[in-house]
Amino acid sequence: MLRRWLLLTAACVLSFTWVAVGNAHAVPVVVLDRDGSAHVVNNPYLSGTALSPVLGSATPTTLTAAAASASAARPRLSSRHRTKRPAAFTFAQALLRLKRRAVLQTAAYSSDLQIWNQALNEERHLTRWRAAQLSGVTSTLNQMAAGRTVTAARLPALMLTLTNNVNYWRNGPSLANGATVQFQGSELVWEYYAGSGIQLQVLHTFGEGDGYYEAGPQDYGKLVTLMNEMVPLAVHRGGGLAWEYYFNWDGGKPPWVSAMAQGTGLEALTNAYLATGDRQYLSYAHSALPLLQTPPPTGVAVKTALGTRYLQYSFTPGTDIINAFLQTLLGLFDYAQVSQDPLATDLYAAGNRQAQAELGSFVVGGWSLYQPGEVDPLNYHSLVTGFLKLLCEKTTAAPYCRTYQRFQVDMLSRPQLTLLTTTASPGRRFKLRFRISKYATVGATLSRAGKNYLYAKRSFFKGTRAFATPRLRPGTYALTMSVTDPVGHYAKLSSSLVVCPGVCTSRLSAIRPTTGPVPTVTVALPKPIGPPTGAPTTTTGSTTGTSTTTTATGTTTTGSVTGTGVTTGGTPIGTTTDAGTTTTGTTSTGGTTAAGGGQTGLPG
């Protein structure tokens, strides 16, 4: 259940303005029926709590100005107004080239060309906004053709994408960016990206397969159906099987691949084997491993001095997104445990060494980083916390367990703000200094006689921080400060700042107003879990770090992590309280990831 929730967090925020969703534990999905009508269902196999790709910092291709302004009125346009300059080498020409090279049979060529011409004809008769969505798909196919990346192996996925978009945009309801879509009779999961149309969501489709397995034997048939649809859509890339994405994303051009999606595919194939006993699924999984050995841009493996880093996107070799890296390791670990595949074991070990070594660099100031220099929003902090919990349960490796506890404390603890600057000298700029106990947004208003001299709001990491403050005349100024963490915990401080005409007394300078004590939060270690049901036990890699008990898969860490002033082993782990503050109350968790956020992960 946790895995399903987490994988969903790894895709775009779902926002349906035209449908009320009653079940908070299922994802609303627009299903297009065969007759062209549509209805909304809450899909529990994609779910968890409201979750999922920031994708984080990435943004999908934007709508054209015409499409963006079409929400109010969507008049039909004549074909004369929609004429597009043809690409240097079009998709139709790419089909013809494949036919002439005898890699596309005549019947298949005729069928695909008919679908292509039908799509172009639909564009000329759709309203402006709908035409823009379908055009996003046809333009991408022309782009791929011009780049000579249309191959016979990719045609099944490309033609299915084109066909589904033609059928949907003819009569389907309007969609919010990031909406999840499915088509009657199919288990595949699709997602709408504004300006790029409806695209196959590889990550979510495999995640749905995991959901079917977790639901129990009554849903194994759906898992088999899903796999029967997904396996033929794989292509040969990097010396093995790969599931590609066929749209533009954050500067990347199709076709591109993701280690996160590939790793989730390994997990889904492993679950299909466990559900059916059919070893062909393990064979497919083994064939999918070479992508995790191949460097970008073909593959997703970046070699390091310690091992291998697995990339979220094949087109950004310098990007290190920790949640995607950890999910890839989870997929490798589960497959290696079940199959005892030596290659999978080696790939997991190489990634495990690198992940444990770099994990600490994503722990800063009472919160997590999405990638170096970029703070996780709440949904991604929840996502990476859940992945760490699973790795802790499966491997008992100390770095994963400690970081899980720390991130969980970060979510559950409340922020505390202490004012450090209570006096100032007249006529001089100065820093309004304060201390916060965790990553949070701090607001400050400094006023006198109805005039604001400081009105500021910024996010800060844990520690001593400051706002730049202008020159002030002597007198007493009203100061109001607030602190809000990403979870929504809020505290307010009302105080004053004295600008002394001479030297301020030591009594005034010693005052340290604070938002008050906050409850202590204790997070216990999750209980270790064994290999998947029906799977043989195998040793997978090794770990480093201080431990109390050594196991085959890593180091066992024991005890609990306590935040807000309590320490473990003499080292502060969570947030800290100010000197002289009495901490009251205790909130404990057995390791359950706190809910929150909207859906997040890959552009899916």
- Are 294 and 226 in contact by the 8 Å Cβ rule? The answer is no
- Residue 2, CA distances (Å) to 8, 372, 533, 540 in order: 10, 26, 17, 22
CATH number of 417-509: 2.60.40.2550
Strands 190-193 and 197-200, by their bridges, are: antiparallel
Residues of the chain short of pLDDT 50, as ranges, are: 1-2, 4-5, 8-9, 11-24, 48-83, 87, 536-558, 564-601, 604
Q: Which residues contact 221 (CB under 8 A, 6 or more apart)?
A: none
Q: Which residues contact 577 (CB under 8 A, 6 or more apart)?
A: 416, 437, 517, 518, 564, 565, 583
- Give the residue extent of every domain in the chain: 417-509
The confidence score (pLDDT) of residue 46 equals 85
Please report the pLDDT score of residue 511 as a whole number: 73
* C-alpha dist (Å) from residue 207 to 47, 95, 371: 9, 33, 23
d(C-alpha 243, C-alpha 235), whole Å: 6
Query: In 3-state terms, what secondary structure has residue 451?
Result: strand
Rounded CA separation 313/307 (Å): 18
DSSP string, 90-102: -HHHHHHHHHHTT
pLDDT in tens, 67-97: 333 333 333 334 444 445 554 799 999 999 9
**3-class DSSP assignment, residue 254:** coil
